[in-house]
């Protein structure tokens, strides 16, 4: 009779044999696509760890080696253990044009966050009305709600980053995060809840824990994942806590629907109303609305915190651009006030932010899609069913065939030509575009989609919250510029380097900036 150790050995040997067989079968399907790193059974796991630590360098290598083509990297981020990455605007356009029947946009998020385990059957992305909410009522109401959001920007900064007469050091991301949470939730759920520190802290802590849980689940054998999920995830406890805050509000809103119907003009203009307006009857529940508010906050808070932190690091490093930006903000705000229209007219600030996004960004690979059936690109590359594909965005943003001197920080790069100024000895063109028509400038702005600039992705599945995010970023950056002086420690002139984790990127969470009250 076999000993317990022998049984364990047989089980391990059986599991390894299955993993080897599964690996070989998957590899065969994508063998025609070149690999950055190893494609061996053991070597691919080592490459996956390398991708987690320095994936941006592997992406840059693939971008250089296979222009206009595709390559693959081993990764823990996808169920197939491979991520196929395409290079260049032409293949990006293929992704833009692909139908949902071939390339699904929500599946990579489900896989990366292990939502079958972390959220279980109550997954907030499964109903179409959630995405419709972003692209329709949320975007349409930015102008109407912008004054409320900007008031919260002012209150948040006064409370959490008070302007002192002396230089005061702040850890940027740590300081900005609660401000972004408050201002975003002013738009999402309004006062007074957006100022409730316990409510906001629950949202802030959720994202970090969710990502840690997702990685722990991903690295576990499939048979062990339910146990790992139970031990690590905080989704259900977070939802329970949020229901204590949001439940009474949602129930009042549902009673309003019962009493007055959907056309009641007294309904508050917030995300709760927008979700309920679009939801089918069976999804008009406290549990469903809370789940969707949670995932909306997850998508909004940390990406906006990353983006604003990067903008502040560049403002602190490149002091010479502060006064021109202040002059523009003063001129626009004095004429149009703090409004969405004024944000559209802040061309220099928009170009500054867009250039920061080009050089830094949130993801090294954007527009990830999962093939629901074999998909063939225009150059003949085939992505088999079940595999994930994305665009090498960070590497493309440093492509010298697309951007002149891409290593140079040029905050005027994305200005409409008529507004471009003489900078660093280069004569920039002028044109006769209409100064008084902000709509004529939209094609230049950060929110615009372009297969050369893919910070927000491409096509109809590009980030639907980008319109609110960019207006929120402008409002906060403009307020800071008008009310604070800022600089890097030791008067450094180079923004601190960021950190990379697989396909993701963020600023250094411990990096600091010195602030003081603006001296005029």
Sign of CA dihedral 487, 326, 322, 438: positive
Give the separation between CA 435 and CA 334, rounded to whole angstroms: 16
Closest CA to 66 of 83, 91, 49, 45: 91
Closest CA to 16 of 36, 50, 37, 45: 45
Closest CA to 457 of 114, 85, 87, 93: 93
Sign of CA dihedral 124, 129, 135, 139: negative
H-only helix segments in 76-171 = 89-97, 107-112, 115-118, 128-133, 139-140, 142-160
The residue behind tokens 């061996």 is: 40
How many whole angstroms from its chain centre is CA 75? 20
CB 455 within 8 A of CB 393: yes
Collect all residues with Cβ–Cβ distance below 8 Å to 440 and sequence separation of at least 6.
433, 434
CB atoms within 10 A of CB 116: 15
Helix 466-483 vs helix 286-317: crossing angle, to nearest 10: 40
How many whole angstroms from its chain centre is CA 226? 28
Sign of CA dihedral 413, 415, 420, 421: negative
200 assigned to a ligand binding site? no
How many whole angstroms from its chain centre is CA 219? 23
Annotated binding-site ranges for heme? 463
Annotated binding-site ranges? 463
């Amino acid at each position: 009779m076999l000993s317990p150790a022998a049984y364990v050995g047989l089980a391990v040997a059986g599991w390894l044999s299955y993993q080897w067989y599964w690996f070989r079968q998957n590899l065969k399907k994508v063998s025609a696509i070149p690999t950055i790193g190893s494609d061996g059974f053991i070597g691919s796991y080592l490459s996956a760890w390398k991708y987690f630590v320095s994936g941006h360098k592997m992406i840059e290598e693939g971008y250089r080696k296979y222009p206009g083509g595709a390559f693959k990297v081993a990764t823990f981020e996808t169920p197939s253990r491979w991520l196929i990455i395409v290079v260049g605007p032409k293949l990006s356009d293929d992704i833009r044009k692909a139908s949902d029947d071939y390339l699904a946009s929500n599946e990579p998020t489900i896989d990366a966050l292990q939502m079958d385990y972390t959220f279980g059957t109550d997954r907030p992305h499964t109903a179409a009305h959630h995405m419709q909410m972003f692209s329709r009522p949320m975007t349409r109401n930015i102008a109407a709600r912008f004054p409320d959001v900007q008031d919260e920007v002012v209150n948040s900064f006064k409370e959490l980053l008070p302007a002192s007469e002396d230089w005061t050091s702040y850890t940027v991301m740590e300081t900005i995060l609660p401000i972004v949470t408050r201002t975003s939730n002013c738009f999402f759920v309004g006062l007074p809840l957006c100022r409730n520190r316990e409510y906001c802290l629950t949202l802030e802590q959720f994202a970090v824990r969710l990502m840690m849980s997702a990685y722990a689940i991903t690295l576990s054998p499939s048979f062990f994942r339910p146990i790992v999920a139970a031990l690590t995830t905080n989704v259900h406890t977070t939802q329970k806590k949020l229901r204590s805050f949001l439940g009474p509000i949602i129930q009042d809103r549902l009673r309003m629907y019962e009493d007055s119907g959907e056309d009641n003009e007294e309904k508050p203009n917030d995300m709760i109303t927008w979700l309920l307006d679009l939801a089918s009857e069976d999804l008009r529940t406290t549990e469903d609305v809370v789940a969707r508010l949670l995932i909306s906050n997850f998508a909004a808070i940390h990406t906006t915190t990353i983006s604003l932190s990067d903008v502040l690091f560049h403002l602190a490093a490149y002091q010479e651009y502060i006064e021109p930006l202040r002059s523009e903000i003063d001129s626009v705000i004095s004429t149009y006030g703090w409004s969405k229209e004024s944000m559209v007219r802040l061309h220099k600030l928009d170009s500054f932010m867009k250039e920061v996004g080009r050089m830094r960004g949130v993801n090294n690979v954007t527009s990830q899609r999962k093939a629901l059936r074999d998909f063939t690109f225009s150059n003949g590359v085939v992505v088999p069913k079940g595999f994930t594909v994305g665009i090498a965005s960070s590497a493309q943003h440093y492509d010298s065939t697309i951007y002149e001197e891409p290593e140079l920080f040029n905050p005027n790069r994305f200005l409409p030509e008529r507004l471009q100024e003489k900078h660093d000895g280069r004569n920039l063109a002028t044109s006769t575009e209409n100064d008084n028509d902000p709509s004529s400038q939209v094609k230049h702005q950060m929110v615009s989609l372009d297969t050369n600039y893919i910070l927000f992705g491409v096509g109809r599945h590009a980030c639907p919250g980008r319109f609110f995010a960019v207006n929120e970023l402008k409002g906060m950056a403009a307020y800071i510029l008008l009310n604070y002086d800022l600089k890097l420690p030791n008067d450094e002139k180079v923004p601190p380097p960021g950190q990379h984790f697989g396909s993701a990127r963020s600023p250094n969470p411990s990096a600091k900036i010195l602030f003081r009250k603006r001296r005029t």
